[in-house]
């Protein structure tokens, strides 16, 4: 079984989550997408929707409704920059 993805979710004012996830579901620029370990290097702009970091059993380990952000993944390391959250702009 591949190693889980090391994930960090950060806003301009702090770290929201740091840990490992077996998968990620996120709202991308061209629609929702999923990321599994050993994903190709990927930089994507996030649109309004729910970001979910998943555990081994597919359950949501960490979830966040966001307005705008970026997700970058390379070598099984993922960072999500949350620019703004719903009804709060910019994120803080």
Partner 1 sequence: MATAKDIKKRIRSVTSTHKITRTMEMVATSKFKRAVARVKEARPFSDTLPSLLAVLADDEEECRHPLLTPRGAVRRVALLLLTTNRGLCGALNTSLIRLAGDFVAEQEEWGRETDLHVVGRKGVGFFRFVGQETASAYTELSDRPGPADAQRFADQMQAEFLSERVDEVHVAFPRFKNAAEHPATVERVLPLNITREEEERSGTVKHYLFEPGPDRMLADLLPLSLRNIFLRYLLEMAASEQGARRTAMKAATDSAREMIDSLTLSYNKARQAQITTELLEVVSGAEALR
- Residue 11 Cβ vs partner 1, minimum distance, rounded to whole Å: 6
Q: Where in 32-51 is the site for partner 1 (CB under 8 A)?
A: 40-45
Asked if residue 65 binds partner 1 (CB under 8 A), the reply is no
Nearer to partner 1, 56 or 74 (CB): 74
What is the four-CA torsion angle of 88, 81, 33, 77, rounded to 10 degrees?
-150
Nearer to partner 1, 30 or 57 (CB): 30
Closest C-alpha to 77, from 2, 4, 3, 6: 6
CB proximity list for 68: less than 8 A, separation 6 or greater: 45, 46, 47, 48, 82, 83, 84
Contact residues toward partner 1 (CB under 8 A) are 8, 10-15, 28-30, 40-45, 70, 72, 74-75, 79, 81, 83, 90-92
């Amino acid at each position: 079984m591949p190693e889980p993805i090391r994930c960090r979710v950060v806003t301009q004012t702090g770290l929201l989550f740091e840990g490992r996830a077996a998968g990620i579901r996120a709202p991308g620029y061209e629609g929702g997408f999923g990321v599994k370990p050993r994903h190709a290097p990927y930089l994507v702009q996030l649109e309004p929707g729910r970001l979910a970091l998943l555990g081994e059993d597919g359950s949501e380990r960490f979830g966040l409704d966001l307005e705008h952000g970026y997700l970058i993944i390379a070598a099984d390391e993922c960072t999500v920059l949350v620019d703004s959250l719903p009804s709060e702009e910019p994120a803080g």
